Structure 1
Amino acid sequence: MLNRVILIGRLTRDPELRYTPTGVAVTQFTLAVDRPFTNQQNEREADFINIVTWRQLAETCANYLRKGRLTAVEGRIQVRNYENNEGRKVYVTEVVADNVRFLESANREPASGGGMREEAPQSRYGNQRSQQQDPFSDDGKPIDISDDDLPF
């Protein structure tokens, strides 16, 4: 059996972070995914798909995703049900994501290279970018390395 889905779309609202009674983080958001065709009025329609993330990924999504950001989601489809206040059974279909990739930076610049490129190390594990100058830039000067520094 196979239950795998990959979606690319834009968030319709900021992610909502909550914690279970045992302290596990869970985030929910909705992804608007364009359909590959236009309707009779030559307008594009979209599907609005509920996404759920858990644990560290949930906290990362809550910290870095915002309404309107282009995002790729990979996960599985899940159907659950519950009984509402009126006693009716309600069915919910959602994607439980195990991989979320940020396809745009916060200021809406598309990620270079296209495709499902992960934005620096932030997309799964938080923003770990350093604001310091690149320690490996040589500023046009020769690099002083002795033979003892080489591992071979």
Structure 2
Amino acid sequence: MINRVVLVGRLTKNPELRYTPNGVAVTSFTIAVNRPFSNQQGERDADFIPVVVWRRQAENAANFLQKGNLAGVDGRIQTRSYENNEGRRVYITEVVADSVQFLEPKGSRNTDSGSFASTAPSPSDQRGGYAPANRQSNGQGQSQGTPSFDDPFANDSKPIDISDDDLPF
């Protein structure tokens, strides 16, 4: 049997850290995941999925994640039930995370305008990565000069203004 869930979304509120009577850390939060299609009004709906994280990963999530942060969750679906004060059986479905990935560098989200700071490395930081060689030939099949990077965001320290609607997730 396979029970595997992989989600990428934004936290709807700050994570809640608690400890069991035995001292085991447990954090819960809700992650909003956009659906890949639009409804009849042309709007994109989202699913709000409860996530539970245990032990060290719970402490890390509580300390480093906050409302609005983009996070990746890898885990399994779990259902449980309990009897409420009115004597009714309540069923809960949640994701128990094995791993939580912080998908934004700390402090990269500007909470005032919703824009993101550029975190792209400058050409001098790229080692062994993308480096198209725009060199001039010396007429003998050899190129001269230094490589030129065609990165439109290089040498520009301004934040990139991207709407959440423009992102594919």
Cα distance, 1:112–1:93 mapped onto 2, change above 3 Å: farther
Distance 1:85 1:91 in 2: 14
Q: Does 1:98 align with 2:95?
A: no
Distance 1:50 1:85 in 2: 22
- Letter of the structure 2 residue corresponding to residue 89 of structure 1: R
In structure 2, the partner of 1:13 is 13
Structure 1 runs not aligned, ≥5 long: 114-152
Cα distance, 1:80–1:71 mapped onto 2, change above 3 Å: same
Distance 2:35 2:119 in 1: 22
Q: Which structure's CA Rg is the greater one?
A: 2
Q: How does 1:47-126 map to 2 (within 5 A)?
A: 47-107=47-107, 108=109, 109=117
State the number of aligned residues.
113
| CA RMSD of superposed structures (Å) | 1.5
Q: TM-score, normalised by structure 2?
A: 0.64
Deviations along 1:61-115, whole A, 9 cap, x unmatched?
A: 00000000000000000000000010100000000001110111232247669xx
Cα deviation, residue 60, structure 1: 0.3
Distance 2:72 2:118 in 1: 13
Identity %: 65
Distance 1:110 1:18 in 2: 34
- Letter of the structure 1 residue corresponding to residue 93 of structure 2: T
Q: TM-score, normalised by structure 1?
A: 0.71
Q: Is the 8 A contact 1:103 1:111 kept in 2?
A: no
Structure 2 runs not aligned, ≥5 long: 110-116, 122-169
